[in-house]
Amino acid sequence: AEPVLTMHQEAGSWVVQTEQSTERFDAVVATVPSHVLPKLIELEEDYRLQLEAIPYLGAVVLLFSTEQR
């Protein structure tokens, strides 16, 4: 997987650019934090302000596993 640099709509498709390639898709599902999305795509001002107003808490999860005897 490659990090996405930019996305934009063109002729009814989403154009997704990474460092290695540019791909076209019918739809895109963004699972990035709300403050990252405006850096990837141009948003309407009202929607961008709504996203920026959402408090975001980062989380780190640690999984520890041992063999039980």
Its pTM stands at 0.60
Q: Could you please report the per-residue DSSP string of 1-58?
A: ---EEEEEEETTEEEEEESS-EEEES-----S-TTTHHHHS---HHHHHHHHTS----
d(CA 57, CA 35): 11
37: tokens are 């999305």
pLDDT one digit per residue (tens) for the chain, 69 residues: 788 888 899 999 999 999 999 999 999 998 888 888 888 888 889 988 998 888 877 788 888 888 887
